[in-house]
Structure 1
Amino acid sequence: MANTSTVPDIQAFKRYLLSLQDHICDSIESLEPSTKFHEDAWDRENGGGGRTRVIANGDVIEKGGVNFSHVLGDKLPPSATVNRPELAGGRFEALGVSLVIHPKNPFAPTSHANVRLFIVYKEDMEPVWWFGGGFDLTPYYGFDEDCIHWHQAAHDAVEPYGQGYYQKFKKWCDEYFYLKHRGEPRGIGGLFFDDFNEGSFEHCLAMVESVGNAYTKAYMPILERRHLLPFTDQQRDFQLHRRGRYVEFNLVFDRGTHFGLQSGLGRTESILMSLPPEVRWTYEYPIAPNSEESKLTDYYLTSKDWLA
């Protein structure tokens, strides 16, 4: 059950989100010599709006988006009340930063992160609030070193705020980013949590800020190690094939995508910025046994305790 004991300090979280967006964009641009993020500010009549930032066709980043949004609505969409029927019909306010980075090099993994706050206002009820977020990594060619580093950063981001949080949120991530129709995970996981309101608003805010701050600590060293590695046309083709899995998850399962499109308050271009610019679906894509390509699904995309 969501916490109703305090009214959340929305402005404090909004200030943090805007600074986080700046920090992540600056970090990505530090590796990208040829292009910068393009900013597109947008507003809605009801007072909501956002700040979309997209980078494309760079030497390092083929496409990436780091988006801030703050939307208000008169009625929760169905995707937001499936697990919370008591909140149906309530007004809502949602704000967060969401990002996806698709590097050009097949050895550099795609990364995703978001942090968000959701508040519901309903007659005869105190405001109901909760946080959500996390980050996850989707490699095409895996490296143990990268997986261990990624999960160590995830562990260090949340464990100080509650013993066992890392294992809890890692398991949640593994289960959420799973393509049921394929019978495989989207990537090597990381952190995922929703409906988070354990303790005071200040405690929850501190943990969520720690997760947001950990993203560049987790991702930038991996991107720095991999973005200049030489690759073949065949490895590029495999990357485009595997990107298809990413698209399938985002369009079929992702709650954030569904909420943005169903609410009618988001901006479609911003919501779908997570999709890669190039992708292929090849019928029965040929993968040789015991190859580096087969190792992705046979080894990396299996449930592991990377910190064991």
Structure 2
Amino acid sequence: MASRRPALRLFSQCRARSQLTSQRAPNCRRALSNLPPNPKTPRPTLSPKARFLSLTALGLLAAVPFLYKMALDDPLMLDVPTLAERDQLIKRERAITDTSPMRLRMEKFVKEQQKEIVKALEQVDGTKFRVDEWQRKEGGGGITCVLQEGKVFEKAGVGVSIVYGTLPKAAIMQMRANHKNIAEADNIPDSLEFFAAGLSLIAHPKNPMAPTVHLNYRYFETAKPDGTSGAWWFGGGSDLTPNYIFDEDAIQFHKSLKDVCDAHNKDYYPRFKKWCDEYFYNKHRRETRGIGGIFFDDLDETIQGKEDIFAFIQDGLKSFVPTYVPIIDRRKDMAFTEKEKEWQQIRRGRYVEFNLVHDRGTAFGLNTPGPRVEAILMSMPLTATWKYMYEAEPGSREERLVEVLREPKEWV
């Protein structure tokens, strides 16, 4: 036994912590071959190959306790597919149907509506939109369609954004103010994957008699670790911003939105109309941005079921073309003066002020990791004016607009 202890001691010194490398095996063999033979024990004659296999087997057996400890102390982390990767796999394997995750149904719907709206506005203007498709390295992407310096529209944009990302703990805690189901108060995770999809639209006509229009419908959800939906909510709305008020246009626009709301919930229109007047409000000017429409956010299961709200979103978005196109057709060829064009530019300046100072959508987009600034600022008009201490003349049509903006009117 005494003769074996030096051999075992030398063998243990040659053993690596993580694995027995082929480079060290020859060193161990040389060390063992230099030991003095035991006169009582005949030395077996092994071929080099057999000797190497024997040493390898002994090395593996010796490494087992170490590997077991390493597995307990530092478990191997396998790559888990992200939410974006899960959804890409679903889209490759099967068509999107009513049984698909709401994320993918919303994405499919807004992309379809984008095509319909672009087609309708191209028919009005006679000019094609520029179409830019883009991808986000964090997941998702979008399609931005923009028409500039057309025959009817100075600028119009219809954009779809699909965003995958991760919410940090601070953002999760902030969102719990309106969405308690995003995480348990005593078990807030360090991060949560999220998905956001939406369609945004803006149209700035050349003719000051034709109103600017804005629309946005969106969906947001967080994901559980297994990829299933966590907290979710819808938001959106549409509003009209004229430079000169035509009562029939205002009534038509609001009546169309009221009809959509009433078909789903009689409480929607009065609630969302008020919400719109309060949201699209330039506090520093003490006036609304336009004559309103509807606006809502955070519609979740506390309001109605997911399918019911999605049906409402679909009807609202589909109502845009039959509502706005007749209005623009009535106003796009009306005569106007240089003074009226100047008023349009001043009103556009107020539009820019709201978007950059107060709009939450703009702030969210610009603060999202990897923002595509051109798409986020698509809503900015091509031209605008700021004149020092400009006041509308008493009794003028311009003054009537300001009065309505300071005291929102019930149009239907």
Alignment-mate amino acid for residue 63 of structure 1: K
User: Following superposition of structure 1 onto structure 2, how do residues 154-173 of structure 1 map, counting pairs within 5 Å?
Assistant: 154-173=257-276
Stretches of structure 1 lacking an aligned partner (at least 5 in a row): 1-5
1:65 matches 2:157: yes
8 Å Cα contact 1:155/1:166 also seen in 2: yes
**Following the alignment from structure 2 to structure 1, what is the Cα–Cα distance between the partners of residues 212 and 275?**
20
Structure 1 pair 53–303 and aligned structure 2 pair: CA distance change class (3 A)? same
Q: Deviations over 1:221-280 (max 9, x none)?
A: 110100000111110011000101100000011111000000123310000010001000
**Following the alignment from structure 2 to structure 1, what is the Cα–Cα distance between the partners of residues 152 and 174?**
40
What is residue 90 of structure 1 aligned with on the other side?
192
8 Å Cα contact 2:125/2:150 also seen in 1: yes
Which has the higher Rg, Structure 1 or Structure 2?
2
Structure 1 pair 102–231 and aligned structure 2 pair: CA distance change class (3 A)? same
Alignment-mate amino acid for residue 262 of structure 2: E
What is residue 245 of structure 1 aligned with on the other side?
350
Instruction: Give the Å deviation of 1:214.
Output: 1.2
Name the TM-score, length of structure 2 as normaliser: 0.69
8 Å Cα contact 1:240/1:280 also seen in 2: yes
**Following the alignment from structure 2 to structure 1, what is the Cα–Cα distance between the partners of residues 249 and 337?**
21
What is residue 127 of structure 1 aligned with on the other side?
230
Instruction: Give the Å deviation of 1:293.
Output: 1.0
Q: Which moved more, 1:195-204 or 1:96-105?
A: 195-204
Structure 1 pair 231–126 and aligned structure 2 pair: CA distance change class (3 A)? closer
Give 1:232's match in structure 2, choosing from 331, 337, 343. Answer: 337
Stretches of structure 2 lacking an aligned partner (at least 5 in a row): 1-98, 183-187
What is residue 110 of structure 2 aligned with on the other side?
17
DSSP 3-state at the match of 1:90:
strand
Structure 1 pair 296–76 and aligned structure 2 pair: CA distance change class (3 A)? farther
Structure 1 pair 77–151 and aligned structure 2 pair: CA distance change class (3 A)? farther
Q: How many residues were matched structurally?
A: 301
DSSP 3-state at the match of 2:142:
strand
What is residue 3 of structure 1 aligned with on the other side?
none
Instruction: Give the Å deviation of 1:122.
Output: 5.5
8 Å Cα contact 1:64/1:101 also seen in 2: yes
What is residue 137 of structure 2 aligned with on the other side?
45
Alignment-mate amino acid for residue 235 of structure 1: E
8 Å Cα contact 2:154/2:206 also seen in 1: yes
Instruction: Give the Å deviation of 1:287.
Output: 1.8
1:29 matches 2:143: no
Instruction: Give the Å deviation of 1:90.
Output: 2.8
Instruction: Give the Å deviation of 1:286.
Output: 3.5
8 Å Cα contact 2:221/2:229 also seen in 1: no
8 Å Cα contact 1:71/1:266 also seen in 2: no
Alignment-mate amino acid for residue 228 of structure 1: D
Structure 1 pair 18–298 and aligned structure 2 pair: CA distance change class (3 A)? same
What is residue 383 of structure 2 aligned with on the other side?
278
Instruction: Give the Å deviation of 1:23.
Output: 0.8
Structure 1 pair 288–159 and aligned structure 2 pair: CA distance change class (3 A)? same
Structure with greater proportional helix content: 2
8 Å Cα contact 1:173/1:191 also seen in 2: yes
Q: Deviations over 1:64-89 (max 9, x none)?
A: 11000101111269889755356584
Alignment-mate amino acid for residue 112 of structure 1: H
What is residue 392 of structure 2 aligned with on the other side?
287
Name the TM-score, length of structure 1 as normaliser: 0.92
DSSP 3-state at the match of 1:251:
helix
1:192 matches 2:289: no
Structure 1 pair 253–83 and aligned structure 2 pair: CA distance change class (3 A)? farther
DSSP 3-state at the match of 1:74:
strand
**Following the alignment from structure 1 to structure 2, what is the Cα–Cα distance between the partners of residues 174 and 232?**
30
What is residue 55 of structure 1 aligned with on the other side?
147
8 Å Cα contact 1:76/1:91 also seen in 2: no
Alignment-mate amino acid for residue 19 of structure 1: E
Alignment-mate amino acid for residue 167 of structure 1: P
**Following the alignment from structure 1 to structure 2, what is the Cα–Cα distance between the partners of residues 81 and 55?**
40
**Following the alignment from structure 1 to structure 2, what is the Cα–Cα distance between the partners of residues 112 and 246?**
11
Alignment-mate amino acid for residue 114 of structure 2: Q
1:181 matches 2:274: no
**Following the alignment from structure 1 to structure 2, what is the Cα–Cα distance between the partners of residues 79 and 240?**
38
What is residue 115 of structure 1 aligned with on the other side?
217
8 Å Cα contact 1:142/1:300 also seen in 2: no
Alignment-mate amino acid for residue 272 of structure 2: F
